[in-house]
Structure 1
Amino acid sequence: MTAPVRTRTSSELIQAEEPVLAHNYHPLPVVVARAEGVWVEDVEGRRYLDMLAGYSALNFGHRHPALIDAAHRQLDRLTLTSRAFHNDRLAEFAERLAELTGQDMVLPMNTGAEAVESGIKVARKWAYEVKGVPADRATIVVAADNFHGRTTTIVGFSTDETARSGFGPFTPGFRIVPYNDLAALQAAVDETTAAVLIEPIQGEAGVVVPDDGYLTGVRDLTRRADCLFVADEIQSGLGRTGRTLAVEHEGVVPDVLLLGKALGGGIVPVSAVVGRREVLGVLRPGEHGSTFGGNPLAAAIGTAVVELLETGEFQRRAAESGAVLREGLGELVGKGVVGFRARGLWAGVDVDPAIGTGREISERLMREGVLVKDTHGSTIRLAPPLTITEDELRCALRSLEKVLAA
């Protein structure tokens, strides 16, 4: 008789990771083995309400049936060709994504950081070929406290010393200004400016929502200065804020959109640069590429994601449940919460430092069966799947209230 396979415990698995995994993350001590919808289960069978949703990669919840079905059907047919050949799934994905976002062309990539890097290359190429900036003098204006990824180029214009320190020398050509400050942005833009690259809502900084009119001001300024408005919607886009895109809250249409995370449905990494034809049209064969970018499996899943968003259901759910989230957090202000910022189903919650750090609050919530993630200091982020019910959301808020009171 074959001996049964012994399943290691959470503690054993965490200890096994220590000597063999690079320490680039500091995860909470929970080992997830299964998931469905808004719930995850660890190897011992304990269930947790997922209030992070993979930093918005799981906007549609874990293992959404339509997305899993699309993946299964494509796995039985074709997974990869590279872009050396055409595949039968890419055209529909590109057409429908462009239509969903109101843009003309799509550059498919894999990860969010790849989309940002690609957007930077496109903006510089546009500056030289269309705007007429002298060779190698193009500049891009970015915001302080940004988070666009962790490649060497991107961390070079980060103001987070944890992400930046020890990784220089850095790529030149970036100017950093305060976020939500149009006067500072105006002062930084000149004839060499290729683009202004910002997050419509700063996620890693603690879900920082700019003042009304800021995004409109950025759009107006970039038009006057003949430079591109590049909006990083990798975390804020695809339903999270109650609209398909966060820029829609001000009726703004950027020149370039950077998308990722939820575009892969929590199944495979899928990202895209989406923009006007006169911008993305500057690329020619051989100037940029990706072996896996636009692969048929990714395109099939991405198309299924677009189909879900085309219904408007998830945007509506994020808006309606977001109202419940804001109401619940408002009731906790003065009871351990010192402030919060929220839009749709996305919130940054500032906890009284006397109660604990963001990490400590996250660990206490984990013990109550709720998974969240800290950002900086005593701030935690809430970003549940858009499929969460009001009862589940109120359950998470009650757990937060209990942890704060304890």
Structure 2
Amino acid sequence: MENCKLSTDQVVDILSRLPVKSLMRFKCVCKFFYDLITSDHHFMDTHYEISKTKTDCVLLEAGWAVREYYLLYKESSEYNEIGCIYLDIPTTPRAMWVKCCKGMLCLISTRNDITELDHGDYLIYDIWICNPSIRKVKALPSVTVPYRPPYNAFVLNEFGFGISNDMTWKVVMLVQFCSVDDFRTTHEMTLVYSQVGGDSWSLRQINPVTWCRDIEGQINDFYLKGRYYWWADRYARFLIWFDMNDEVFGTIELPLDVSIDSISIMNETIALLGYSSVEDSSCIEIWLMIENDNNTYWHKQASIDCAVNLDNIESLTPIGIWNVDGELLVSLDKTVEWDSDDSDSQHPERVVPYFISLDLVTQERKMFPVSKQRKSITMASNPTAGDFQVYNERNIDITEEWEPNIFIGDTYARVYDESLHFL
């Protein structure tokens, strides 16, 4: 910095506009850069606010029986390519949930068989926080739920992950024990697991808000402006939210006359995505939530014709808004026939993941095939509790690896903003 002709403020401003990958290299330039990038929370916040205005990345959760997680991002606008980073999250004997807030992922796993918990057993969760952008991961102290069911039970779980205004990270857990023998016999609990300083975390029980079965599975949940949202039963037509500051719950009614296939975030507010059909035409409608004087109403932001002139398209599904310019990410499966001289070949068809990015203003459409080379971030070599190792990144050939219809069905995209934040 001694020979730099720019002022310190100018240098900091330039650095705050760079991608995380560049900053990870530049932190080795000098001690000033290192301290700024790794320890200055004001700089981290400034960088995050700038980077999220340029977001072209989503955390994609896909798969049927086994959930898989990917970071999809615009790798090259010139060549219409989507980069793909596969998050090689360790396979546990039980279940794994992944939540997202400010560029950090919260990984939650249970040590128990939640399909049938023996009476008198404690339910135990292992939790990790990781930031794929800066290649950091930390295991939190495990959580033992302070209740032992007096009967054999199966367990329903829902989780949220976010941060309060005083910069306290929190994991909220909605847990319901249901008797295997009598479904009407249940016990509900809501737990808040919060950071109290450094590596210390505290567990508190608060009044339960609802049965976990009221929430629409493990998709369409997200963090936004201090609240965590879950989509309740689609027939009940409401969102459940938890305020990370006041630690209270509330609900937001969804419009009765709007078809909802997915819920996303656009322009810092909640966006409903759904199909609408009139006679022989169909379109994707986007409705935004408007708050005014403590009143909430829904405004139709866009209506996009679903007609596509693409060969061999089997299905088209809106999965989320993925940048601030207002582009809708749509998944589709494009079938590629098996290339074989053997007419009796029993090989199945290959299915290559394709996406369409729809500009909500110009209606321009760009189709992107996922690159045939994808990067994989491996988070651990052994899936035992707390045994996470330093990340490594490698390129892997994905030819013939994709499961058919991997991005069709229970697929959900959460906007992912690169961040320098960590616990």
**Greater RCO (CA < 8 Å, at least 6 residues apart):** 1
Structure with bigger helix share is 1
| TM-score grouping bracket, smaller chain normalisation | under 0.3
State the TM-score, normalized to the length of structure 2: 0.27
Give 1 or 2: higher strand fraction: 2
